[in-house]
């Protein structure tokens, strides 16, 4: 590797985040690992986001780089960042979040020590201040060992981790543009295709609770026409079917995809009307028909290997089971109601 190249490329899409961006950039600026470039992609902001980007790029010339695109969404901004990146590893950050000053160093050290395609850490949510935070994702608890030596993370977000650039290129993995919740198809692919995921059992990433304008705020507030990642999920299934042609990996890939569909149906029932929910149910049914018609024989859903996924939350395991049974009976719409009711009662999401 060229010693003059950065070891990590930090990619930060930014859209109307003038009130938050400076906090994240200060975190990046004061990292204990300094051999990183910072790629800032302004996704057509209409506030003073670009002024903030310009100031940091001017003050950190040669390390911070600014790119602009007409508002095309977070996926397109991340893909633009990937195209411009020169680092061995990529670190995707959300502009309104915060990270520990040791974030890059600890993830990079773990990835290099274990020769891993990815390294991940735990996440804490916070609201008004970083002092008011609580655990959101314990990465150890979200990593399931399906079989000895085959552990898979159920954390799909590209944040709270780093990923090797040539791994993404080797499998032609990019974010599905023009769609929301694009983390899901991306996460399924990288979590299953990575040669190894190094786990840093520390909370190093701090996720700001939904604010007006963020992608997930729009989803949870019931934006009129959500761009569900229909295309991205199909592309993910097609790639996984090509790469994993036999058990146990093919069964694990099937489980991961079904888990994601069950999550979509739950979220959509809790936040949208019939005009969104019915097409989603039809899509899920066709998706299973096309890619996983024998899902009822999946040993991790029904059979002796269900014990292998017992470390997953009960709500998540039940949602997968109920989804498959509802698919069998052509009753996915009623399933979405039951799953949403279950999530509300148990106080958690899939």
Residue 251 to residue 163: CA distance in whole angstroms: 24
Give CA–CA dist 232/245, Å, rounded. Answer: 20
Pairing of strands 161-164, 89-92: antiparallel
CA gap 206, 44 in Å, rounded: 25
pLDDT at 209: 84
Its CATH class, for the domain covering 8-220, is alpha beta
Q: Give this prediction's pTM.
A: 0.90
pLDDT one-digit tens code per residue, 16-58: 999 999 999 999 999 999 999 999 999 999 999 999 999 999 9
236-289 confidence digits (pLDDT tens): 999 999 999 999 999 999 999 999 999 888 877 667 777 888 899 999 999 999
Residue-level pLDDT at 330? 92
Give the span between the Cα atoms of 188 and 157, in whole angstroms.
Answer: 10
Confidence of residue 342 (pLDDT cuts 50, 70, 90): low
Q: Which carries the bigger pLDDT value, residue 215 or residue 322? A: 322
Q: What angle do CA 150, 172, 69 make, to 5 degrees?
A: 125
Label residue 122 by pLDDT band (50, 70, 90). Answer: very high
Q: Which tens digits make up the pLDDT trace of 174-194?
A: 999 999 889 999 999 999 999
pLDDT at residue 181, as a whole number: 87
Q: For the chain, which residues make up each domain, given as ranges?
A: 8-220, 244-346
Q: Do residues 69 and 42 touch, judged by C-beta distance below 8 A?
A: yes
136-174 tens-digit pLDDT = 678 888 899 999 999 999 999 999 999 999 999 999 999
**Residue 62's Cα: distance from chain center in Å?**
29
Say whether pLDDT at 219 is over 60. Answer: no
């Amino acid at each position: 590797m060229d010693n003059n190249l950065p070891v990590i490329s930090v990619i930060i899409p930014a859209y109307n985040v003038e009130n938050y961006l400076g906090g994240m950039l200060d975190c990046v600026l004061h990292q204990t690992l300094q051999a990183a470039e910072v790629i800032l992609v302004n996704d057509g902001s209409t506030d003073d986001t670009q002024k903030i980007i310009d100031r940091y790029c001017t003050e950190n010339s040669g390390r911070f780089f600014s790119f602009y695109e007409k508002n095309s969404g977070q996926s397109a901004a991340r893909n633009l960042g990937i195209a411009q990146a020169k680092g061995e590893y990529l670190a995707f950050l959300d502009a309104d979040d915060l990270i520990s000053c040791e974030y890059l160093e600890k993830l990079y050290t773990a990835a290099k020590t274990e020769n891993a395609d990815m390294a991940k850490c735990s996440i804490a949510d916070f609201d008004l201040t970083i002092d008011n935070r609580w655990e959101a994702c314990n990465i150890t608890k979200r990593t399931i060992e399906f079989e000895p030596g085959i552990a898979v993370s159920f954390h799909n977000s590209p944040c709270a981790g780093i990923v090797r650039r040539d791994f993404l290129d080797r499998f032609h993995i990019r974010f599905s543009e023009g769609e929301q919740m694009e983390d899901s198809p991306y996460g399924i692919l990288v979590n299953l295709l990575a040669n190894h995921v190094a786990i840093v059992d520390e909370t190093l990433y701090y996720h700001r609770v939904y604010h007006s304008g963020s992608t997930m705020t729009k989803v949870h507030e019931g934006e009129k026409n959500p761009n569900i990642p229909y295309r991205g999920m199909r592309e993910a299934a097609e790639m996984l079917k090509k790469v994993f042609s036999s058990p146990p990996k093919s069964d694990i890939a099937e489980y991961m995809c079904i888990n994601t569909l069950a999550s979509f149906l739950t979220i959509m029932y809790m936040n949208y009307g019939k005009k969104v929910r019915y097409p989603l149910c039809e899509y899920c049914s066709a998706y299973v028909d096309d890619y996983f018609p024998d899902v009822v024989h999946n040993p991790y859903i029904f059979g002796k290997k269900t014990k292998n996924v017992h470390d997953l939350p009960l709500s998540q395991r039940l949602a997968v089971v109920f989804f498959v049974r509802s698919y069998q009976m052509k009753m996915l719409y009623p399933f979405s109601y039951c799953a949403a009711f279950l999530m509300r009662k148990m106080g958690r999401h899939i």
